């Protein structure tokens, strides 16, 4: 399961907070962005309940971090070029071609 968290962090705490986040095993992407929310993190979770556990850990380790929005992907049919069945097991491969013409 994938979740994306948007957060606000005071500018002087942004680098320190990001360094803490990237060392958590669940974090797949951590980026400073522009706008009201200045940090975005994408995480891999084993279950929906892990989201609450991770949010609690973030609050303890990063007191300056304030989560403002969350989005959870409950089911994904493809990850990194692999087709997945309902249990998340690989059933085939679709090669990723970054130079291919986009399909509309």
**32, β-bridge pairs:** 39
Residues 81, 11: Cα–Cα separation, whole Å: 36
Residues 54, 38: Cα–Cα separation, whole Å: 19
- Judged against a pLDDT cut of 90, whether residue 67 lies above it is answered with yes
Residues 46-71: what's their mean pLDDT? 92
Domains in the chain with CATH codes: 2-76 (3.30.70.920)
Work out the angle at residue 46's Cα, subtended by the Cα atoms of residues 40 and 48, and round it to the nearest 5 degrees.
70
Band of the pLDDT at 39, cuts 50, 70, 90?
Answer: very high
């Amino acid at each position: 399961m994938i979740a994306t968290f948007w957060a606000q962090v005071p500018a002087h705490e942004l680098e320190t907070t990001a360094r803490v986040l990237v060392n958590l095993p669940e974090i797949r992407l951590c980026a400073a962005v522009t706008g009201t929310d200045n940090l975005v993190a994408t995480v891999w979770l084993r279950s929906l309940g892990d989201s609450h556990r991770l949010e609690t850990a973030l609050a303890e380790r990063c007191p300056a971090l304030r989560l403002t929005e969350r989005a959870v992907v409950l089911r994904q049919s493809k990850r990194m070029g692999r087709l997945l069945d309902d249990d998340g097991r690989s059933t085939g491969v679709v090669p990723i071609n970054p130079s291919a013409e986009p399909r509309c």
